[in-house]
Amino acid sequence: MKRPAIKKGIFTLTVESDFSAGHALRNYEGACESMHGHNFLVEATVEGETLQPDTEILLDFKELKFVLGNVLSKLDHKVLNDVGYFRSHNPSSENLARFIYWELGKLLDNHPVSLVSVSVSENKGKKATYREIVCDSSSNE
């Protein structure tokens, strides 16, 4: 007889913020190989199981947006090709999402949430998302 699945509740929060920056894509054939700018839209999603007992919220949206703002301030009004990580990595939306994910993850270590994903949009209707998954190391044997 099949046992019923055990359900576990998870809360997910998403905030959006934006920044303006210029970049030129290296090794790209097309207009984007020339310096140009975007108003990038960034979405950050976190999750957690336990609400704070006094407020019954997972994490204040203001706090999450503030922490994301600390990361984006490193990129805002910059030429991304000149910013540390992007000197050796193409400043594509994919790499921006990964960079922001890593930086945001460090700042959320002391918060009661886990970072799920970061998405970056250069234009409406186009989005790159970065997330990390846990892989079973035994499957490599």
Structure tokens at 24: 């030129």
Residue 79 β-bridge partners: 22
Long-range CB pairs of 50-56 (<8 Å, 24+ gap) are 50/112, 51/11, 52/112
pLDDT at 139: 57
8 Å CB contact between 26 and 90: yes
Place of tokens 């846990």: 134
Asked if pLDDT for residue 33 goes beyond 80, the answer is: yes
pLDDT tens by residue, 101-140: 999 999 999 999 999 999 999 988 999 999 999 887 765 5
pTM of structure: 0.90
pLDDT at 134: 85
Please state, rounded to an integer, the average pLDDT across all residues of the chain: 94
Rg of the chain, C-alpha, whole Å:
18
Lowest-confidence region among 4-8, 69-73, 115-119: 4-8
Runs of H (alpha helix) within the chain = 61-72, 93-107
8 Å CB contact between 81 and 105: no
Asked if pLDDT for residue 23 goes beyond 90, the answer is: yes
Residue extents of the structural domains in the chain: 11-25+37-127
8 Å CB contact between 48 and 59: yes
Mean pLDDT value across residues 5-14 = 91
pLDDT at 24: 95
pLDDT at 1: 74
Looking at the domain that runs over 11-25+37-127, which CATH code has it been given? 3.30.479.10
pLDDT at 60: 96
